Amino acid sequence: MEIKFEHVDFTYAPNTPMAKKGLQDVSFTLKENSFVAVIGHTGSGKSTLLQHFNALLKPTAGTIRIAGFEINKDTTNKSLKALRKQVGMVFQFPENQLFEETVLRDIAFGPKNFGVLEKEAMQLAQTWLERVGLSEEVAEQTPFDLSGGQMRRVAIAGVLASEPDVLLLDEPAAGLDPRGRFEMMKIFTDYQAAGHTVILITHNMDDVAYYADDVLVLEKGELLLHDTPERVFADRDWLTAHHLDEPTASNYGRVLSRRGFEFSKNPLTLTSLTQQIVQNLDKG
Ligand SMILES: Nc1ncnc2c1ncn2[C@@H]1O[C@H](COP(=O)(O)OP(=O)(O)OP(=O)(O)O)[C@@H](O)[C@H]1O
């Protein structure tokens, strides 16, 4: 099912001297089963936007249609539990929210909280323990004895175990080394491949290039651009003007262009860069 934002406004502390616009007239439609990156300079409204997908923040004006729910300023808290079962959120540094005595219990907490019976929740926990790449050995350990990366996997498994239709991710790979980042992102691309929609806030343009098929660019609470990664990264001057980086491979590509290499399309990934370098070398 499509996700639709229709003229969404959000103001922090409205009608006070501290009032601050978080979102301004934001409208877009996202296709089902897409992997959407949300990018923008610091303070552009990415987290504010993400929190609207599951009504952690409700719009001051406008409407959000998602997973069969409609969210507007009058949405009551009554429907929120059902909504949050369908639209799950992984916060930044989710490992800080672990609290159960064992890893399995922590993962099972999410589904139990949404009404799944104990036995079934523990089975789901077992399934997701494996799917996020944790070994059976840690199942009965206290999560607090695990490494930081493992703890983060436990927390993510806890969200995925409820199998939300839409998965919201706020910089989930922050602080991980490149290998940890790659493994973490694999969990999310697998989740998309299983038929779900994934929406990712990231400052890492390589993540956008490698994983996203759709991009929302925010600036000062407004939607500056909604397009494919190819089009978002097409104009280096435009990116610079909006304080955005380009993917590493594009950067290398530009350096090589100055040395006479010809690129038929902007190389966003190392695979594309390598293929096009080989084509240039073959041509001599
Ligand atoms: N609780 C709050 N009260 C008042 N203003 C806030 C609050 N949270 C965020 N803001 C303001 O709203 C704007 C958007 O903030 P937001 O956190 O959504 O941006 P962001 O793009 O996620 O930033 P970052 O990349 O730094 O995480 C900023 O100007 C921020 O200062």
Burial class of residue 80 in the structure, from the number of CB atoms within 10 Å of its CB (0-12 exposed, 13-18 middle, 19+ buried): middle
Q: How far is the centre of ligand 1, averaged over its atoms, from the C-alpha of 282 (Å)?
A: 50
Pairing of strands 3-12, 35-40: unpaired
Is residue 25 domain-shared with residue 82, that is, in the same domain?
yes
Distance 89 CA to ligand 1 centre (A): 17
Segment 178-235, tens digit of pLDDT: 888 999 999 999 999 999 999 999 999 999 999 999 999 999 999 999 999 999 999 9
pLDDT tens string 101-140:
999 999 999 999 999 999 999 999 999 999 999 999 999 9
Q: Give the phi and the psi of residue 3 in degrees, each rounded to 5.
A: -115, 130
Alpha carbon of 220 to ligand 1 centroid (Å): 10
Same domain? For 121 and 260 the reply is: no
Domain limits for position 74: 1-92+201-242
Mark whether 251 and 261 lie in a shared domain: yes
Same domain, 107 and 56: no
Q: Which residues, 6+ apart, have CB-to-CB distance to 275 below 8 Å?
A: none
> From atom 31 of ligand 1, which residue's Cα is the shortest distance away?
43
What strands, in cross-sheet order, belong to the sheet with 3-12?
20-30, 3-12, 61-66, 69-71
Residue 180 lies in a domain: no
Kindly state whether residue 218 falls inside one of the protein's structural domains. yes
* Closest residue by CA, ligand 1 atom 14: 45
Q: Is 69 domain-assigned?
A: yes
The tally of domains found in the chain comes to 3
User: What pLDDT is stored for residue 77 in this prediction?
Assistant: 86
Ligand 1, CB cutoff 6 Å, lining residues: 12-13, 20, 22, 40, 42-48
In a domain, 166, yes or no: yes
Of 18, 46, 171, 199, which is best to mutate to test ligand 1, by the most ligand atoms within 8 angstroms of its C-beta?
46
Whether 179 is in a domain gets the answer no
Does 233 fall in a domain? yes
pTM of the model: 0.94
